[in-house]
Amino acid sequence: MTKVDFYILPSADPSARLDFACKLSEKAWRMGHRIYLHCSDAAQRDDLDARLWAFKGEAFVPHGPADSEPDGAIVLGLGDDCGQHQDLLVNLDLKVPPFAGRFARVAEVVVEDPAIRQAARESFRFYREQGYPLQDHRLQRL
Protein backbone atom coordinates (compact mmCIF):
# COMPACT_ATOMS: atom_id res chain seq x y z
CA MET A 1 0.00 0.00 0.00
CA THR A 2 1.11 3.54 -0.74
CA LYS A 3 2.86 5.27 2.17
CA VAL A 4 2.29 9.01 2.47
CA ASP A 5 4.74 11.40 4.12
CA PHE A 6 3.90 15.02 4.89
CA TYR A 7 6.95 17.26 5.16
CA ILE A 8 6.02 20.38 7.13
CA LEU A 9 8.57 23.11 6.51
CA PRO A 10 9.33 25.99 8.90
CA SER A 11 8.61 28.65 6.28
CA ALA A 12 5.65 30.54 4.89
CA ASP A 13 7.35 31.04 1.52
CA PRO A 14 5.75 28.82 -1.18
CA SER A 15 9.08 28.66 -3.03
CA ALA A 16 10.54 26.74 -0.06
CA ARG A 17 8.42 23.81 -1.27
CA LEU A 18 10.32 23.74 -4.56
CA ASP A 19 13.71 23.99 -2.87
CA PHE A 20 12.80 21.10 -0.57
CA ALA A 21 11.49 19.08 -3.52
CA CYS A 22 14.92 19.48 -5.15
CA LYS A 23 16.70 18.20 -2.03
CA LEU A 24 14.28 15.31 -1.55
CA SER A 25 14.49 14.31 -5.22
CA GLU A 26 18.28 14.40 -5.28
CA LYS A 27 18.49 12.26 -2.13
CA ALA A 28 15.92 9.73 -3.42
CA TRP A 29 17.62 9.57 -6.83
CA ARG A 30 20.99 8.85 -5.21
CA MET A 31 19.28 6.00 -3.32
CA GLY A 32 18.14 4.52 -6.65
CA HIS A 33 14.54 5.71 -6.73
CA ARG A 34 12.61 7.05 -9.71
CA ILE A 35 10.80 10.29 -8.90
CA TYR A 36 7.73 11.88 -10.42
CA LEU A 37 7.39 15.55 -9.44
CA HIS A 38 3.75 16.50 -9.94
CA CYS A 39 3.44 20.25 -10.57
CA SER A 40 0.32 22.38 -10.42
CA ASP A 41 1.00 24.27 -13.65
CA ALA A 42 3.60 25.00 -16.33
CA ALA A 43 4.99 28.02 -14.46
CA GLN A 44 5.69 25.92 -11.36
CA ARG A 45 7.22 23.17 -13.51
CA ASP A 46 9.51 25.67 -15.24
CA ASP A 47 10.53 27.19 -11.89
CA LEU A 48 11.27 23.73 -10.48
CA ASP A 49 13.25 22.83 -13.59
CA ALA A 50 15.43 25.93 -13.14
CA ARG A 51 15.93 25.15 -9.46
CA LEU A 52 16.97 21.56 -10.19
CA TRP A 53 19.65 22.86 -12.56
CA ALA A 54 21.01 25.33 -10.01
CA PHE A 55 20.32 24.05 -6.52
CA LYS A 56 23.56 22.09 -6.13
CA GLY A 57 26.44 23.52 -8.10
CA GLU A 58 28.77 20.54 -7.72
CA ALA A 59 26.25 17.86 -8.73
CA PHE A 60 23.97 17.23 -11.67
CA VAL A 61 20.51 15.85 -10.97
CA PRO A 62 19.13 14.30 -14.19
CA HIS A 63 15.60 15.45 -14.84
CA GLY A 64 13.24 16.48 -17.59
CA PRO A 65 9.63 17.25 -18.43
CA ALA A 66 7.23 14.30 -18.66
CA ASP A 67 6.13 15.23 -22.18
CA SER A 68 9.66 14.86 -23.63
CA GLU A 69 11.32 12.45 -21.16
CA PRO A 70 8.52 10.25 -19.77
CA ASP A 71 10.84 7.46 -18.64
CA GLY A 72 13.50 9.61 -16.97
CA ALA A 73 14.78 9.02 -13.44
CA ILE A 74 13.32 12.36 -12.32
CA VAL A 75 10.33 13.61 -14.27
CA LEU A 76 8.44 16.90 -13.92
CA GLY A 77 4.82 16.39 -14.86
CA LEU A 78 1.42 18.02 -15.09
CA GLY A 79 -2.11 16.75 -15.49
CA ASP A 80 -3.68 13.37 -14.84
CA ASP A 81 -1.12 11.04 -16.45
CA CYS A 82 2.10 10.03 -14.69
CA GLY A 83 3.16 7.57 -17.40
CA GLN A 84 4.81 4.42 -16.07
CA HIS A 85 6.11 5.98 -12.85
CA GLN A 86 5.17 4.28 -9.60
CA ASP A 87 8.08 4.65 -7.17
CA LEU A 88 8.07 8.11 -5.51
CA LEU A 89 5.54 10.86 -6.17
CA VAL A 90 6.42 14.33 -4.90
CA ASN A 91 3.13 16.20 -5.06
CA LEU A 92 3.49 19.96 -5.44
CA ASP A 93 -0.11 20.51 -6.54
CA LEU A 94 -2.72 21.61 -4.00
CA LYS A 95 -4.85 18.53 -4.56
CA VAL A 96 -4.19 14.81 -4.57
CA PRO A 97 -3.60 13.61 -8.14
CA PRO A 98 -5.84 10.74 -9.29
CA PHE A 99 -2.85 8.44 -9.78
CA ALA A 100 -1.36 8.84 -6.27
CA GLY A 101 -2.37 5.31 -5.26
CA ARG A 102 -0.15 3.80 -7.97
CA PHE A 103 3.01 4.92 -6.17
CA ALA A 104 4.92 3.12 -3.44
CA ARG A 105 5.44 6.46 -1.67
CA VAL A 106 3.95 9.92 -1.83
CA ALA A 107 5.60 13.04 -0.43
CA GLU A 108 3.41 16.06 0.28
CA VAL A 109 5.41 19.23 0.93
CA VAL A 110 3.73 21.82 3.16
CA VAL A 111 4.66 25.37 4.16
CA GLU A 112 2.93 27.75 6.56
CA ASP A 113 1.11 29.62 3.78
CA PRO A 114 -2.64 29.47 4.69
CA ALA A 115 -3.83 28.20 1.29
CA ILE A 116 -1.17 25.49 1.17
CA ARG A 117 -1.83 24.40 4.77
CA GLN A 118 -5.57 24.17 4.10
CA ALA A 119 -4.99 22.11 0.96
CA ALA A 120 -2.64 19.84 2.93
CA ARG A 121 -5.31 19.30 5.60
CA GLU A 122 -7.79 18.26 2.90
CA SER A 123 -5.21 15.94 1.34
CA PHE A 124 -4.45 14.45 4.75
CA ARG A 125 -8.16 13.74 5.28
CA PHE A 126 -8.43 12.15 1.84
CA TYR A 127 -5.44 9.86 2.40
CA ARG A 128 -6.66 8.92 5.90
CA GLU A 129 -10.15 8.09 4.57
CA GLN A 130 -8.55 5.87 1.91
CA GLY A 131 -6.60 4.02 4.61
CA TYR A 132 -3.09 5.02 3.52
CA PRO A 133 -0.38 4.89 6.22
CA LEU A 134 0.46 8.52 7.06
CA GLN A 135 3.46 10.11 8.67
CA ASP A 136 4.37 13.73 9.22
CA HIS A 137 7.87 15.15 9.43
CA ARG A 138 8.09 18.56 11.06
CA LEU A 139 11.38 20.00 9.92
CA GLN A 140 13.11 22.40 12.30
CA ARG A 141 15.23 24.02 9.61
CA LEU A 142 15.58 24.04 5.83
**If DSSP codes are grouped into helix, strand and coil, which group holds residue 7?**
strand
pLDDT digits (tens, 9 = 90+) for 24-40: 999 999 999 999 999 99
The edge-to-edge listing of strands for the beta sheet with 74-77 is 64-65, 74-77, 35-38, 88-91, 105-110, 3-8, 134-138
Q: List Cα–Cα distances, 88 to 37, 81, 131, in angstroms.
A: 8, 15, 18
pLDDT digits (tens, 9 = 90+) for 65-79: 998 889 899 999 999
Read off the pTM.
0.95
- Secondary structure E strands in the chain: 3-8, 35-38, 64-65, 74-77, 88-91, 105-110, 134-138
> Per-residue pLDDT for 9 more than 80?
yes
Q: What is the mean pLDDT of the chain?
A: 94
